[in-house]
């Protein structure tokens, strides 16, 4: 089957491309758009390394075809960065809490954290554990990841307070 035309917004930039119907969204993001922050792990929806935001909700980009993203909005871990490529608040909290070792799970963890904090500004430790429970980490034991999400949430609440 011949390639299909798609138009997709990724991290606020509009892209148009021709892709094979069988190309997954994660392969499109990495191989075509060179947004390589999104990782490929299990390729069947288990590990969460490929998580991205899709129209504002977290999804597994290994389980979608790129053609299904036609007309939609995607945010990858690169989209969490701050001004001029500085670390965003979640990225900075992960760095400060040493919430990674090999880093393979980290993009997916950050997307899970972002999805949680978008809907819950004051998550409990249990709610954070639940939010990242679909993302597998082989290295950290999760404790520092949970601490990082707590720190990011705390800082966001502080920033919101500062603006009042």
Residues at the contact surface with ligand FES, assessed by CB under 6 A? 40-43, 45-50, 60, 62, 100-105, 137-140
- Write 15-21 long-range contacts (CB < 8 A, 24+): 17/66, 19/66, 19/67, 21/65, 21/67
Q: Of 25 and 116, which CB lies nearer to ligand FES in the complex structure? A: 25
Q: Of 50 and 97, which CB lies nearer to ligand FES in the complex structure? A: 50
State the minimum distance, in angstroms, from the CB of residue 68 to ligand FES: 15
| Paired tokens of 157 | 């609440």
State the minimum distance, in angstroms, from the CB of residue 26 to ligand FES: 7
Residue 36: exposure state from Cβ atoms within 10 A (0-12, 13-18, ≥19): middle
State the minimum distance, in angstroms, from the CB of residue 158 to ligand FES: 27
Q: Of 21 and 45, which CB lies nearer to ligand FES in the complex structure? A: 45
- Cα–Cα separations (whole angstroms), residue 155 to 59, 65, 140: 26, 36, 23
Q: Of 99 and 116, which CB lies nearer to ligand FES in the complex structure? A: 99
């Amino acid at each position: 089957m011949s390639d299909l035309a798609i138009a997709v917004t990724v991290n606020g930039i509009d892209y148009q491309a021709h892709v094979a119907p069988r190309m997954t969204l994660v392969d499109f993001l990495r191989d075509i758009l060179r947004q390589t922050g999104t990782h490929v792990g299990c390729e069947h929806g288990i590990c969460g390394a490929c998580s991205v935001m899709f129209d504002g909700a977290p999804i597994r980009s290994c389980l979608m075809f790129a053609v299904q993203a036609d007309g939609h909005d995607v945010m990858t871990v690169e989209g969490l960065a701050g001004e001029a490529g500085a670390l965003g608040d979640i990225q900075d909290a992960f760095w400060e809490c040493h919430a990674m070792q090999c880093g393979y799970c980290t993009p997916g963890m950050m997307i899970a954290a972002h999805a949680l904090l978008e809907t819950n500004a004051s998550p409990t430790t249990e709610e954070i554990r639940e939010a990242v429970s679909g993302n597998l980490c082989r290295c950290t034991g999760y404790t520092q990841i949970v601490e990082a999400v707590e720190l990011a949430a705390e800082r966001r609440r502080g920033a919101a307070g500062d603006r009042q």
